Chain A
Amino acid sequence: MISKILVANRGEIAVRIIRTCKSLDIRTVAVYSEADKDALHVKMADEAYCIGPARPDLSYLNMEAILTVAQMTECDAIHPGYGFLSENPEFAEKTEQFGCVFIGPSYKAIRLLGQKSVARDIMKKAGVPVMPGSDSCISSPEEGARIADEIGYPVLIKATSGGGGKGMRLVEKPEDFIKLCQTAQAEAASAFGDDRVYVEKYMVNPRHIEVQIVADQWGRVFALGVRECSIQRRHQKLLEESSSVALTPELRTQIAETALKVVRTINNGKDGVIYHNLGTVEFLLDEDGHFFFMEMNTRLQVEHPVTEMTCGGYDLVALQIADAMKEEPLPLENEILNTHGWAIECRINAEDPTSAFVPSPGTIEKFIAPGGLNVRLDTAVYDGYKIPTMYDTMIGKLITWGNNRDEAISRMIVALDEFEIKGVENTISFHKFILNNRDFYNGKFSTAFVEKHYEDYLNKMKLASKKKD
């Protein structure tokens, strides 16, 4: 039984988790840094404790402080949210050792899948399509260069412990390989304490498709629809959809089945790991409909609301808690869930899209949230709230649902028009630009969309500001 949960996170995701806990009559404990003393999650939780100064390594990444609070307040479980400690196997292991439930997969599964090259090798052996590349990590830049010659340029050098584009380098010409490989290794060593890298063929203009997985401790695995996250900038997703215009119904089923196979492959491994709780299997899709396993994220995803809105209202956090209780199998039947309608999420960030998305922290002077039928806003921001400089720039996630993509887009445009934020620069205008773009509307886009259309956006903004004058 879980009756009290410590939420080891901040911002909108902490608020979102606390909401579900309240609806399940579970008490909550918030932790916060000095910079977040006025944060919404602190106000909403039943109890809240300051665990350190603003610096994340001294607060939200401070395992000792978080576990101390969990112990002092007699929490049964810890929900890590996303980011921070959510994919840290050491934290998951320590939480379990200390007698608390870590709401997520087992630390063994997190550790296994956190090693991107190991996960890639396991999937390759199991017959899951992966991009051509090195078997496990390369032993030297020279070995990497030989492999790159074999598979053909361009190639990607990727850190095995990596994420968020760190320790990753695109190499277009053989003469650049050694130098860029050394840079990637140095960056990986400093960011992750692990300099091992592997080499993969680089797909030009891919689409990013991912499958939401839910699994329980009885080894049952379910796919809850697909998401397309191709609209991104420097590996940071900006807008997500469920489902994807790039997929025929057959291809969608194939990708979902492959994602199920990825999880079953882990469950059938020699080390006895059973993958449970949430997970996201990420794929790259080429223009001919070939898809390749990229990695699996072992946590709740930022863009999970688009899945919730197309999967008949399943609350993914509630499913996570139900799994963590270990009392009975999850209340799901179909391995591939039938989805309904279309959902879009726009991440509204405190950034200036007219100046290369430079962060714009500051005080929210006016905040008018959009609303109406099938409009959802996940945020931790309110009038007068000061966005701290130390953390991510997210103001909120705006999600709309429609019976089809057109309806979801129209509803999103109306919602963005309604949305008013004063005091900080924000990305609303850029989202409006995307939604009104013909290529986006026609589904003709890839991860290169933002780069391709950014100049056009700047010109439109200049024109609009001239008209105003």
Chain B
Amino acid sequence: MEISQLKQIYQLMSNNDFDEIELRLGESERVKMTRSANSSKVAKPECIKIAETNIQNTQVSESLSDSTKTEILSELVGVFQFMDEDENFFPKVGDEVAMGEKLGKILSLNSTKEVKSPIDGRISEIAVKKNDIVDYGRLLFVIEDLSSIKA
């Protein structure tokens, strides 16, 4: 793995306030990075993890320099819905979204959890359909980091 890639990963950790990250690169290579916590940052969103599929081999890791993807995972078990008509948003692949923008919601027995984009980016995958039963940790969206695309 190149130093520049490590720097990018570090930047990503910093943006998302991750203290530690472990990457598996194919069968033989593993990279673990730890950074000291920055108390001024907001708590890290538990639903985000770096897409492992992006960094499986050197070829793909080239794409890492073009774009970095962030997975949005379900934080609770429930029924998924995209934002309803009143909120007037039905995301499509390719849509640009701002950090904190609502993408959908998960309805459990007594509560509703909004699903928001953790970064400024572009939707590269929608892995969920309306009324899907989603369990904890299920992949919902993949967002490409806009800043890394523009860079």
Contacts and interface: CB of A to CB of B under 8 A. Distances in A.
Interface string B54-87: 0000000000000000000000111100000000
B114 interface: no
A385 interface: no
B137 A69 contact: no
A409 to B, nearest CB: 45
Interface in A62-118: 64-65, 67-69, 71-73, 98
A382 interface: no
A70 B142 CA distance: 29
Please tell me the size bucket of the interface on A.
10 to 19
B136 A64 contact: no
B11 to A, nearest CB: 27
Contacts of A51: 77, 135-136
A441 B111 CA distance: 57
A69 B138 CA distance: 14
Contacts of B42: none
A52 B136 contact: yes
B133 A65 contact: no
Interface residues of B, number: 13
Contacts of A34: 136-137
Contacts of B53: none
B139 to A, nearest CB: 12
Contact of A68 (B78, B137, B138): B78
A52 B136 CA distance: 5
Interface in B81-121: 108-111
A72 B138 CA distance: 16
Contacts of A49: 77, 133, 135-136
Given A65-B77, A68-B77, A69-B77, A98 B109 contact: yes
Interface string A119-144: 00000000000000000000000000
A53 interface: yes
A49 B78 CA distance: 10
Nearest to A58: B136
6 contacts: A34-B136, A34-B137, A49-B133, A53-B136, A64-B108, A68-B78
Interface of A: 34, 49-53, 59, 64-65, 67-69, 71-73, 98
Given A50-B138, A68-B78, A69-B135, 19 more contacts: A34-B137, A49-B77, A49-B135, A50-B77, A50-B137, A51-B77, A52-B76, A52-B77, A52-B136, A64-B111, A65-B76, A65-B77, A67-B109, A68-B77, A68-B108, A68-B109, A69-B77, A72-B78, A98-B109
